[in-house]
């Protein structure tokens, strides 16, 4: 399986501020009643974006200036809570290609990487700088350079970090592990043969 080498993501950015934004908030459980991930994008952040009567609440994603943004900025512990892949799927289906936050919850980070969504961490100050810049000029192109671990916007450059294993997987087109895991089958069977509880 050959996958796209994700070395950088370029696009407009939008800031959804806040810490501990959990996957229930990213995609409320009632929208998980589905047997495919299609169409999840429209329910992204649903309860914080929509009133009960279906009208819009003030939310960065409802702000027409940020329409079409592909880089999502947020705070600390982004994606905590449930392991639902519906959350990164909704983010991706909505149109985001990368997330920059102060840090990420473990399972969410792994789920995103497997879908080819780079999750980069940056300092609070730097995230504030980027969001100030896009607030001033929503059309500004932001570049998340996965390989170089930096974010460039306007004439500024700030540091970003992406865990080695994830970065390697993204830039070398290995973010979906299935091909490599399948190749390991002989070794898998050998390891399994040593564990009595796995006997058929």
List of residues contacting another protein (CB under 8 A): 18-20, 22, 24-25, 28-30, 32-37, 47-48, 52, 76-77, 80-86, 88-89, 103, 105-107, 110-111, 114-115, 163-166, 168-169, 172, 174, 176-178, 180-182, 184-185, 187-188, 191-192, 194-198, 200
CB of 68 to another protein, least distance (A): 26
CB of 141 to another protein, least distance (A): 29
Closest residue by Cα to residue 46 from 107, 97, 99, 94: 94
CB of 47 to another protein, least distance (A): 4
The answer to whether 118 and 146 have CB atoms below 8 angstroms apart is yes
Nearer to another protein among residue 47 and residue 141 (C-beta): 47
- Strand 13-15: give its sheet, edge to edge: 13-15, 71-73, 98-101, 119-121
Nearer to another protein among residue 69 and residue 73 (C-beta): 73
CB of 103 to another protein, least distance (A): 7
Nearer to another protein among residue 76 and residue 133 (C-beta): 76
Nearer to another protein among residue 156 and residue 177 (C-beta): 177
Nearer to another protein among residue 116 and residue 142 (C-beta): 116
CB of 35 to another protein, least distance (A): 4
CB of 107 to another protein, least distance (A): 6
Nearer to another protein among residue 139 and residue 185 (C-beta): 185
């Amino acid at each position: 399986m050959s996958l796209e080498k994700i070395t950088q993501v370029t696009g407009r950015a939008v800031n959804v501020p806040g810490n501990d934004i959990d996957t229930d908030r990213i995609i409320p459980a009632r929208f998980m009643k589905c047997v495919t991930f299609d169409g999840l994008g429209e329910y992204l952040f649903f309860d914080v974006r929509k009133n009960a009567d279906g009208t819009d609440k003030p939310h960065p994603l409802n702000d027409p200036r940020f329409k079409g943004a592909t880089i999502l900025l947020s705070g600390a512990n982004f994606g905590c809570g449930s392991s639902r892949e519906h959350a990164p799927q909704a983010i991706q289906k909505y149109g985001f290609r990368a997330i920059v936050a102060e840090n990420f919850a473990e399972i969410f980070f792994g789920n995103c990487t497997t879908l080819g969504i780079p999750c980069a961490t940056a300092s609070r100050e730097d995230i504030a700088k980027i969001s100030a810049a896009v607030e001033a000029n929503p059309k500004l192109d932001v570049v998340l350079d996965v390989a170089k671990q930096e974010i460039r916007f306007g004439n500024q450059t700030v540091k970003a970090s992406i865990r080695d294993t994830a970065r390697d997987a993204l830039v070398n087109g290995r973010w979906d592990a299935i091909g490599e895991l399948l190749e390991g089958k002989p070794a898998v069977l050998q390891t399994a043969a040593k564990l009595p509880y796995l006997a058929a």
